[in-house]
Amino acid sequence: MEFLQDHSIQNELLLIFISVLLGILIGAEREYRNKSAGLRTFILVCFGSCLFTILSIKIGVENPDRLAANIITGIGFLGAGVIFKGDNKIDGITTATTIWATASIGMAVGSGYVYLSLLGTVLVLLILSSLNYLQNFIDNNHKIREYKISVSDSEYIEHCEDLFRQHHLKYLMMRQQYTEGNLATIWRLTGKNNHHENLIKSLMDDKKIIAYQF
């Protein structure tokens, strides 16, 4: 009986070690990209999920999913903490969903499904790294930016539209603000990234443009 107990403890320690290792792999990728949640966060998420799952199996003999179900609630709280609003979009969603996925990997390890957790880790790393190139490709060919351009005369609005057309950018006027002879207009421009860069050079050299911001 004592031998079986020692053997069980060794298995659990091995599972915890595996969860820490998998957390390191995912956390290292996030740390490398300088994200809001890094190496230590993902190690602790994977380790904690694994340990809670082991405890839920041991403690909740009649209802083992009781503790495991609360892991998702805790992970939702952590994920919300890394999501914040940027200038033109919501940032941190990828990191939040990665935390969620890492918790599922830790739960798989704690349940003894090591091969499933290894496959999950490989898929997470593949999605975070390889698909990043696809995202950059899409971003370079379909870049959406909001520009705030200030001019001294409302007639220069047509001049701005001509600039956008010259640089093959689709444009949409969002809103305007007039202050003491200064007309600031918010534009949403869509097009290739190099067309945006060429537009910025034109705005810098254009004497009709008082100021711009994006």
pLDDT in tens, 15-49: 999 999 999 999 888 888 777 667 888 999 999 99
Give the Å distances, CA to CA, from 32 to 24, 37, 137.
Answer: 12, 11, 21
pLDDT value of position 5: 46
Nearest residue to 144 via CA among 166, 169, 176: 169
Distance from C-alpha of 119 to C-alpha of 179, rounded to nearest angstrom: 58
pLDDT value of position 132: 74
Give the Å distances, CA to CA, from 39 to 23, 140, 177.
Answer: 8, 29, 45
Distance from C-alpha of 132 to C-alpha of 124, rounded to nearest angstrom: 12
Q: pLDDT (tens digit, 9 = 90+) per residue, 166-206?
A: 989 998 888 888 777 778 888 898 988 888 888 888 888 88
User: Whole-model pTM above 0.75?
Assistant: no
Q: pLDDT (tens digit, 9 = 90+) per residue, 42-94?
A: 999 999 999 888 888 877 656 656 666 777 777 777 777 777 665 556 677 88
**Count of residues making up the chain:** 214
What domains appear along the chain, each with residue ranges and CATH number? 2-139 (no CATH), 142-213 (3.30.70.260)
